[in-house]
Chains A and B, each alone.
Chain A
Amino acid sequence: MTVVTEKEPSPEPSEPADDRPQRARRGLVAGPAVLTALSILLALAVGAVLIIVSNPEVQEKASYFFTRPQDTLGAAWTAVSEAYVALFQASVINVEGSSLGQVFRPLTETLVTATPLIAAGLSVALAFRAGLFNIGAEGQIIAASIAAAYVGFTWDLPIVIHLVVAIAAGMAAGAVWGGIAGLLKARTGAHEVITTIMLNYVARFLVVYLLGLKAFQREGRTDPISPVVAPAAELPLLLGAGFRLHLGFVLALLAAAFVWWLLARSTIGFRFRAVGANPNAARTAGISVERSYTGVMLVAGALAGLAGVSQVLGTSGYLTAGVSGGIGFDAITVALLGRGSPVGTVLAGLLFGGLRAGGIGMQASTGTSVDLVLILQALIVLFIAAPPLVRAVFRIRTKGNVGVGQVSKGWNA
């Protein structure tokens, strides 16, 4: 995050040029946290409108809106509140659960869903800090899943060692997949947005091809599905057999700590940030921009690889063509919401993990399509990226470094 849309030393004087005159009057002064909360609120409001418009009950009652408007409004309120309550109950706490385990089970599901989002989000966030836009987390996840699953179900190694080797194989494969894009950028100047998108497709077809091979086929199955990984290669469950939460979540948190250390405390991380801030200045200072591009994409690929590893060795236990399931794209929104910082990415990953987990529960119990979650995600990021819009809606002022700012470089960078 090199350039931020606004920098205000004190909230009082110089307002940015694009502010309306009405802002002169005193109001709430909101920091990034409040702004994030308001963005979420605004996104939920837009989501509510979509729920109302698409609800068959409301449509039916709206046909006699002018004779009995309260019917329509009541149905609208029911539709929205039911959907959002279900979303909450399926992602945080199920108040109707009979045992303590049932009450907190949704929370653990959120953590399970958040695990790959955090890992892949870190991948995108790290690349952002070096001025690269990694749209290729999807492909890196697939590459890593292939390698980790293959080691997991083919090799026969002692306990612990098997898991470590499988994780390492997955992360290495992700690193290679990301590194290709970095190397191409460094050596030929090919824009990483194009190469990573293309590598996503290559990975997607590669996994379909491999699942058609004997080596990857589960015995007795004709559909493209791999054997289950050996127990020694599984990520151990954290809360026992009743919950799906596995060691992958801890690994994702460790990865976040690692990225924090890398960016804030290490020389390599300093180089990455310098290149991200201004490649020409970095070059003048003696930093190899090319090597940094390759390096950062290797690390980013490995981080996205961790997401794939946690899916095949933890959550699902086997490889399918849909192993990435759009995580790589959600990771972009996670990284944007997290504003490129490791802590922010973890929090954003938890939020979107909750939305994802809750969305499935919401669809099951109220019939509201899980796709609503995609809309909420996109809107939250969009609103956070445009603080003036949120300010205008809520009539507040903001202070500090808010907004997503300019993170990507144009094609010529």
Chain B
Amino acid sequence: MTATLTKPASGPEAPASADVVQPVSWRGPITYAVLGVIALMAFGVLAEGGRSSILGLSYSADKVQLAPLEVPSRTVAILLSLLCLAIAAYSAVKTSRGRRTPVWLGITFGVSFIFAFLCWAIAGTGGISLVGLLQGSLLLAVPLVFGALSGVLCERAGVINIAIEGQLLAGAFLSAVVASVVGNPYVGLVAAPIAGAAVGALLAVFAIRYLVDQIIVGVVLNVLVIGVTSFLYSQLLAPQQNVLNTPDTFDRLKLPLLGDIPVLGRVLFDQSVIVYLMYATVIVVHIALFKTRWGLRVRAVGEHPQAADAVGINVNQLRFRNVVMGGAVAGIGGAFFTLGSVGAFGQEMTAGKGFIALAAMIFGRWSPLGALGAALLFGFADQLQSLLGIVGTPIPGEFMLMAPYLATIFAVAGLVGRVRAPAADGQPYVKS
């Protein structure tokens, strides 16, 4: 519903593309400024002085020991808030000149804001471990990344994938059962994408073959998978818990050399196989989508299927394959719930993570790297919440739990502005 729609461009001087006409939005600088003032007042000026915040930088078992970082809470929070406000001012200047604020500034803003908050939240407590915070964030982001990549694969080809939740859940279920029966979690990891792909195939059949509304199929498939897994859980798994639902979990694999880097080594290279698989998947999907002929075709089908068809691409076949592939990717993410963390399947254990993955995909503007970033942000918020719950903070845990969802609303409505999905996303293609 942009302003450009109401005023059709007329005359030769009117630019053809809607993007050019659209003025740079003031939403960004205003949001920055409001958040900056909130940070300055709440975390700095109004906070209790004379306390310090401690961030642990290494575990006691690490080869390289770093002393924990101890800073005066209020001073640092004020400094970081001022940095936030400076960015807001710079962004305002940019906007007044009709320029966009660079992305890295937005990221800097986010990091400063979060650390200002962190300084305030952990002031006067025993502190939290930065390594634990980042390591946990990455781990919690794993299913979100796989789920969001599933969304990217489907939606770049023009099929809306609301069924990510169901694909994750199916992957979690089958991987747990297979890993338990075989007695090897790695076999379970092979089974997970099969379950996800099966859900993807159902989505493809109904959305592409029977032209059913894609959002509807997605929502209904979620209900179906929740129903089937819960039903089989209570009928089969629960009575035979020992045989069917006690998979081993993945061991941590510390990479040589890389794993010994202070802080980052622990965070990035001392993880289980599924995390390394996630790195690989993000890179592969990114390269495949933007650097290969296949990727060009996928994007063409998602943006303008008629044109793609005209040059000889089989639109519906490509969509079908992508949706099944997307399902498989999400299925791997599902294995994280059972083999990567809990070690047993539980009813509805994905608990809405598929929808968060969907939000991460949109937040990341339908790109694999953007989705990764957004998923990491959600993972960070989740992990921060659980760590702060342990050390005890001034704010109730429920509000911390709400934070990522509120942040998503903010992001979708405020900072990101109108995100643009692939043009043919959600529209079935019928060859005429």
Contact = CB atoms under 8 A, between A and B. Distances in A.
Contact of A280 (B5, B220, B223, B413): B5
Given A5-B211, A289-B1, A385-B216, A408 B426 contact: yes
B227 interface: yes
B302 to A, nearest CB: 11
Contacts of B347: 371
Contacts of A65: none
A194 B430 CA distance: 28
B399 A205 contact: yes
A382 interface: yes
A57 to B, nearest CB: 12
A202 B220 contact: no
B210 A412 contact: no
A98 interface: no
Contacts of A242: none
A50 B232 CA distance: 8
Nearest to A280: B5
Interface in A177-210: 184, 186-191, 193-195, 197-199, 201-202, 205-206, 208-209
Given A336-B216, A385-B220, A198 B359 contact: yes
B367 interface: no
A266 interface: no
B221 interface: yes
Contacts of A190: 409, 412-413
A364 B425 CA distance: 45
A290 B1 contact: yes
A377 B420 contact: no
Given A386-B212, A406-B213, A209 B396 contact: yes
Contacts of A17: 430
Interface string A152-194: 0000000000000000000000000000000010111111011
Contact of B210 (A199, A280, A368, A386): A386
A411 B6 contact: no
- DSSP majority for the A interface? helix
B421 A410 contact: yes
Contacts of B412: 184, 188, 190-191, 194-195
B224 interface: yes
A283 interface: yes
B409 A378 contact: no
Interface in A365-401: 368-369, 371-379, 381-382, 385-386, 388-389
Given A194-B358, A209-B399, A386-B210, A412 B421 contact: yes
A409 interface: yes
Given A198-B409, A411-B362, A382 B421 contact: no
Contacts of B213: 385, 404-408
Contacts of A252: none
B97 interface: no
Interface string A115-136: 0000000000000000001010
Nearest to B351: A201
B228 interface: yes
A179 to B, nearest CB: 14
Given A189-B1, A205-B402, A382 B235 contact: no
B234 A371 contact: yes
Contacts of A407: 213, 216
B359 A133 contact: no
Nearest to B421: A411
A202 B235 contact: no
A135 B219 contact: yes
B392 interface: no
Given A194-B358, A336-B216, A382 B224 contact: yes
Interface in A256-287: 279-280, 283
Contacts of B231: 50, 54, 369, 371-372, 374-375
Interface string B3-46: 00110000000000000000000010000000000000000000
Main SS of the interface on chain B? helix
B230 interface: yes
B101 interface: no
A30 to B, nearest CB: 17
Interface string A235-260: 00000000000000000000000000
A189 B418 contact: yes
B160 A201 contact: no
Contact of B6 (A189, A283, A369, A406): A283
A104 interface: no
A406 B217 CA distance: 11
A76 interface: no
B398 A329 contact: no
Contacts of B413: 184, 187-188, 190, 195
Given A381-B220, A412-B423, A198 B405 contact: yes
A279 B224 CA distance: 32
A101 interface: no
A372 B232 CA distance: 9
B398 A208 contact: yes
A56 interface: yes
A94 interface: no
A280 B239 CA distance: 56
Scoring A189, A289, A368, A371 by chain B CB atoms within 10 A of each residue's CB, the highest score goes to A371
Nearest to A207: B398
B427 interface: yes
Contacts of B93: none
B228 A50 contact: yes
B1 A410 contact: no
Contact of B220 (A189, A193, A378): A378
B282 interface: no
Most-contacted residue by chain B among A17, A55, A377, A386 (CB, 10 A): A386
Contacts of B425: 410-412
B419 interface: yes
A202 B405 contact: yes
B206 A408 contact: no
A336 B220 contact: yes
A385 B1 contact: no
9 pairs of A and B residues whose beta carbons are closest in the complex: A410-B426, A374-B227, A54-B235, A378-B224, A411-B421, A209-B398, A375-B227, A371-B230, A386-B210
Interface of B: 1-2, 5-6, 27, 160, 162, 206, 209-217, 219-221, 223-224, 226-228, 230-236, 239, 347, 352, 355, 358-359, 362, 396, 398-399, 401-402, 405-406, 408-409, 412-414, 417-421, 423, 425-427, 430
Given A336-B216, A386-B206, 19 more contacts: A18-B210, A50-B228, A54-B235, A56-B239, A194-B362, A195-B409, A205-B398, A205-B402, A329-B223, A333-B219, A369-B235, A371-B227, A371-B230, A377-B227, A382-B217, A386-B212, A404-B212, A411-B160, A412-B425
Interface of A: 5, 17-18, 50, 54-56, 133, 135, 184, 186-191, 193-195, 197-199, 201-202, 205-206, 208-209, 212, 279-280, 283, 289-290, 329, 332-333, 336, 368-369, 371-379, 381-382, 385-386, 388-389, 403-412
